[in-house]
Amino acid sequence: MELDFEELGLKVGFEFHQQLDTENKLFCNCKNYLIEDKEPDYVFFRQLHPTKSELGEVDKAALEESRLNKVFKYYGYEENTCLVENDEEPPNEINEEAIDITLEISELLNSNVVDQVHTMRKIVIDGSNTAGFQRTALVAINGYVETKEGKVGIENISLEEESAQKIEGDLGGEEAVYSLDRLGIPLIEIGSKPEIYSPNQAREFAEKVGMVLRSTGKVKRGLGTIRQDINISIEEGSRIELKGAQELDLIEDYIENEVIRQLNLIKIKEKLEERKLKEIETIRKDLTEVFEQTDSKLIKDKLKNGKVLGMKLRGFNSLVGMEIQENRRLGTEFSDKAKKASGVGGIFHTDELPKYGITQEEVEKTRKKLDCKEKDAVILVADKEEKANEALDAVKSRAKQCLKGVPEETRQPLDDGTSKYMRPLPGSARMYPETDVPPVEIKKQKIKKIKNNLPELIEEKVDRFKNEFNISQQMAQVIVDSEKTEIFEEIIQNFNVSPTIVYDTLIGKFSELDSDGFQVKKINDQHLRDLFELLEKDQISKEVIGKILKKVTQEPKKQVKQITEEMNLKSMKKDTIETVVRDIVEEKEELIEDRGFDSIGPLMGVIMNELDRRADGEEVSEILREEIRKKLS
């Protein structure tokens, strides 16, 4: 489908959530890291309920979550969770290091810093915070980022606490398990204005903000450390929020697929208008007797403790099965809503039947029982009666929204670039002041100091590395994007070694060792300094670097020089190399006479193996070429 985004009135805005690499968490002295492969030291359970805002309103997203009546199970760890994470003790003052990093990022994004940082509470009762709210503090406003398609405004920059991590999902729909090690990690939130008008511009904007964040060297790296909420709307549609997108490469797909979804929902609205449907009319009946002898395993399993309920949707025939995104139909939207509201496994609808073991005869009996006309559709749910009724209520509610077109909601991005329903779009009713955290005054001296010490942006560093070290654009980009940027620059500035060799070591060799299962994290910067000092002094050849690093991962407490001596990897003297080369040239005389200088390739492999790669390849090649020249002359 060809899309004219300007004509459609596309508007996109972002919220970035990036973990900061501070020593401690945001409101306590617990260390800022995640626990790996360890049983919790303690476990507790909690249920959460929404509270009213200062205006006496209850946020609709929180209200929907509360209706699920879930029990939340929390895992705590003595080494980096405390009474603050447990919500059994008031928070400490806000982490000053986290504020300083947020101020630095605010300056890099051309934003205006506030005079005082005040902390607010944002109601969140999905279990991701033990308190039932998240603490967040506004730090800066009115920034901007330049893109090829124009300037994109930064509306606000806030500092907030990271949520707890769901580690086991929903168990039976009634319990969710969270780990508290992530709760409280400092998180910067960057919210843009809806001034992005194409998927390409959205991708560029996201890349630039990500580049700024990484340029500080003070944000966490890796999967899950940065998440993006993408707000998308078109003129005839509504604003939806894609919550927690992590794949930069899918941003354009998410936006395009959401536009297609909204256009198709608008088409459904128009078709309902053509069918003169002004309100949703339904009939609901118990259809268990229709399916008593069914061959459908899905229904059989549910009939052991439940029933089959059916609901007629007048005027929805052929529309429930209409595709609105690739592999997703209106019926999928109904099913997502039903699952969220009631915990059922899913729904059936007559646009897709007969299927799943349900026969044509059962479909006809179902339609007859519900007095269906040609343009009517039927929704079926098999489960416990209470859950089935809750599911049908949710479907009816979603069907009503079809009369209006596109509902405002929060959606979950999926791996194929589409999305599914999560919850209603939250509003301002979920915010209220935090009374336990005092405001922080931002002094002009602090701002001045930060401005005078802003880091070099990654895009600037790439250009400098390319020109200063005479490496390609791609090599410069890769090394700057890696965690080896500082040691790369330090080695080149302090040792007379080839930048290409340093690059091949830090990127190529490390990658090879990691792929082979070696723990490259055990190789520290001092190991690398010692390694390249030996290379500079011609005490080792570049050919043995991989062997040395492999041994370092196995015995990291040993010095590189000691490893080199123990493994007998010190470079051979030139006269030894010449002797080996001459011997092999004599041995392979027929090959040389037959192929001339084309014999260099196969001979190099033989010679380097004989030398145990303890010689520089270029030096060996020069010696070999000279010996061949002598032999042929």
Reading the block at residue 586, the tokens are 């004599």
Amino acid code (one letter) for 588: K
User: Looking at residue 55, what is its pLDDT?
Assistant: 55
Q: Which residues pair with 45 in a beta bridge?
A: 73
- Element holding 115 (H helix, E strand): none
- Which residues, 6+ apart, have CB-to-CB distance to 609 below 8 Å? none
Q: pLDDT for 54-93, tens place per residue?
A: 555 665 655 565 566 678 999 999 999 999 999 999 999 9
Domain range summary for the chain, segments of one domain joined by +: 5-27+95-163+186-271, 279-402, 467-566, 574-632
What's the pTM value of the predicted model, to 2 decimals? 0.83
Query: Which residue is listed with tokens 């500082």?
Result: 486
Residues 279-402, CATH architecture: 2-Layer Sandwich (3.30)
How many angstroms from the chain centroid is the CA of residue 576? 55
Q: CA 607, CA 576: separation in Å to the nearest integer?
A: 12
Reading the block at residue 311, the tokens are 């609901």
Q: Which residues pair with 122 in a beta bridge?
A: 134, 431
Query: Across residues 327-334, what is the average pLDDT?
Result: 96
Q: CA 553, CA 530: separation in Å to the nearest integer?
A: 15
Residue 501 — left, alpha, or beta (φ > 0 → left; ψ -120 to 50 → alpha)?
alpha
- Which residues, 6+ apart, have CB-to-CB distance to 583 below 8 Å? none
Residue 116: CA count within 13 A, CB half-sphere: 7
User: Looking at residue 57, what is its pLDDT?
Assistant: 62
pLDDT-derived band at 613, boundaries 50, 70, 90: low
pLDDT-derived band at 172, boundaries 50, 70, 90: very low
Q: ∠ at Cα 342 (338, 347), nearest 5°?
A: 40
Query: Across residues 158-168, what is the average pLDDT?
Result: 93
- Cβ-in-10-Å burial (0-12, 13-18, 19+) of 138 comes to middle
Q: CA 610, CA 289: separation in Å to the nearest integer?
A: 84
**For residues 11 and 74, is the Cβ–Cβ distance under 8 A?**
no
